């Protein structure tokens, strides 16, 4: 059986949305491929999704968050507005809560993502607890994430891990590129997170 190949129709859909991620990623200085990975985790890139908590769209933004004066994008049903609101909120978290020179730039992103999921107040408390328990409060993986798992639960830990995994896969596969003839997937890369855009070639 042939290796899975890119589905051109689904690839085109992802590329169209990715242009919006790139636009607002550039505007708010956030890696737009990371934003795409976050959206995959949040909604599977489905802008029609509404959670049981009322979070809306591709970035699963709460209407109250979108209406906050710091975000001020009240109409989050259109996909572009939803991506704009989610990206702006992530940037707000980053700058308000983790603008600390002692935190590596990658860990600032991880803390911001965890806060997007669990709330910044909880993640700040986890950093304080981590310091008291002998972990490095400025590092997410294998440090603050351990404390978060014990005190909050698996959700924010799995959330950040999944997004990081999807990000790496997106980068390795080069799926945010105009390659419409299909590309072979490296055998060492797991493909289950990106089934949305792949199909099996059974010829």
| Region 5-199: CATH code | 1.10.530.10
Please say if the pLDDT value at position 203 is more than 80: no
Q: How far apart are CA 59 and CA 3, in angstroms?
A: 31
Q: 6-56, pLDDT tens digit by residue?
A: 455 555 556 778 889 999 999 999 999 999 999 989 998 889 999 999 999
Is 190 annotated as catalytic?
no
Residue 75 phi, psi dihedral angles, 5° rounding = -95, 95
Q: The pTM is what?
A: 0.82
CA dihedral 30, 117, 193, 108 (to 10 degrees): 40
How much is the CA Rg of the chain, to the nearest whole Å?
A: 18
Q: How confident is the model at residue 177, as a pLDDT?
A: 52
Among candidate residues 42, 155, 188, 190, the one labeled active-site is 42
Q: Where are the domains of the chain?
A: 5-199
Q: What SS3 state is found at 50?
A: strand
Q: How confident is the model at residue 45, as a pLDDT?
A: 87
| Residues 118, 148 contacting (CB under 8 angstroms) | yes
Q: 83-92, pLDDT tens digit by residue?
A: 999 999 999 9
């Amino acid at each position: 059986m042939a290796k899975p190949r890119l589905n051109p129709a689904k690839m085109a859909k992802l590329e169209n949305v990715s242009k919006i991620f790139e636009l607002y990623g550039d505007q708010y200085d956030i890696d737009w491929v990371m934003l795409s990975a976050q959206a995959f985790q949040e909604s599977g890139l489905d802008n029609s999704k509404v959670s049981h908590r009322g979070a809306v769209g591709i970035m699963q933004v709460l209407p109250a968050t979108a209406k906050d004066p710091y975000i001020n994008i009240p109409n989050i049903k259109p996909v572009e507005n939803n991506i704009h609101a989610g990206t702006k909120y992530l940037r707000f978290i980053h700058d308000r809560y983790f603008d600390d020179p002692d935190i590596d730039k990658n860990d600032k992103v991880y803390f911001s993502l965890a806060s997007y999921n669990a709330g910044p107040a909880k993640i700040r408390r986890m950093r304080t607890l981590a310091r008291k328990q002998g972990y490095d409060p400025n590092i997410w993986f294998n440090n603050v994430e351990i404390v978060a798992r014990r005190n909050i639960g698996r959700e924010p830990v799995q959330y950040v891990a999944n997004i990081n995994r999807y990000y790496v896969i997106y980068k390795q596969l080069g799926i945010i590129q105009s390659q419409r003839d299909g590309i072979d997937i490296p055998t060492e890369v797991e493909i289950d997170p990106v089934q949305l855009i792949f199909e099996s070639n059974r010829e």
